[in-house]
Amino acid sequence: MAGNVTIDNRSPSGNTALNYINAQSRGNGRGGNISIWTGNFFRSSSSFKDRNGGDASISTAGSTADNGGTIFLRHGGNGQTYFIVDGPAINGTKAAITRGNGAQSTILPGNKYLHTYKQDGEKIEIQSRPAPTPTPAPTPAPAPAPAPTPAPVPTPTPAPTPAPTPIPEPATTSAPALTPTPAATPAPSEPVTARPSEPVTNGSEPITARPSEPVTARPSEPVTNGSEPITAAPSEPVTNGSSEPILPAPSRACY
């Protein structure tokens, strides 16, 4: 079993510089563990052939693929200066960093790390400042769905108001002039002449008319209604439309 290697130089003013580190196992065994802690930069400016035939600046290879030791290297790049494998001028190594012969157990030249890097299940670890946790991009607020533009409501065209049909004025008919009814002309009254009485005979003796007796009218008596007497209106002679009274015909004697 190979021995372990520990370097602890935490001063920020100086760098840690060396040729290479070989912590491989010599036979059928396990490689040693390497722990480096430097306050500033780390430089490994040389390399060697490890037991697996590769050029390495740091190796902890063992007798089998997973029998190598762990590698822990902390440098002072502080997330601002890269650690470069195959770039030892400032901060890095000249050749590979390995703990076996598999792809996961070896960091090949050409890689560089600004922040902490881990590989092979954290059995190889190059520490600097941890990479900042990326701020998750804000989830964009969903754009509000545009409000549907309401279809314009067509304004109904008002039906034209029909012009009122003029009511014909009735023809003015002049009323016929009224013909005055002529006053009736009274027929001229003719005097009524009493026919002369002719004697009536019975074939034998003449019938002598009885002398007429004057008829004396009974004097009118006033009719009373319990208070004042009612006086009969005086009788007026009867006329036939002429201005003369009608006189009774004189009695003719019957013989």
- The DSSP string of 91-129 is SEESSEEESSSSSTTEE-TT-EESS-EEETTTTEEEESS
Tokens of 56: 């390495």
| 8 Å CB contact between 34 and 23 | yes
Containing domain of residue 118, as a range?
Answer: 5-127
Domain membership of residue 214 (yes or no) is no
**For the chain, what is the domain count?**
1
Domain membership of residue 96 (yes or no) is yes
Q: What are phi and psi of 6, to 5 degrees?
A: -130, 130
* Bridge partners (DSSP) listed for residue 96: 56
Domain membership of residue 145 (yes or no) is no
- Cα gap 15→187, rounded to integer Å: 177
Question: How does pLDDT run across 98-126, given as a tens digit for each residue?
Answer: 999 889 999 999 999 999 999 999 999 99
Low-confidence ranges of the chain (pLDDT < 50): 200, 215, 217, 223, 232, 238, 242, 254-255
pTM of the model: 0.53
CA pseudo-torsion sign 98, 100, 104, 110: positive
Domain membership of residue 49 (yes or no) is yes
Domain membership of residue 24 (yes or no) is yes
Residue 202's pLDDT is 52
On average, the pLDDT of the chain sits at: 79
Domain membership of residue 91 (yes or no) is yes
Domain membership of residue 140 (yes or no) is no
- Determine the residue type at 235: S
Domain membership of residue 63 (yes or no) is yes
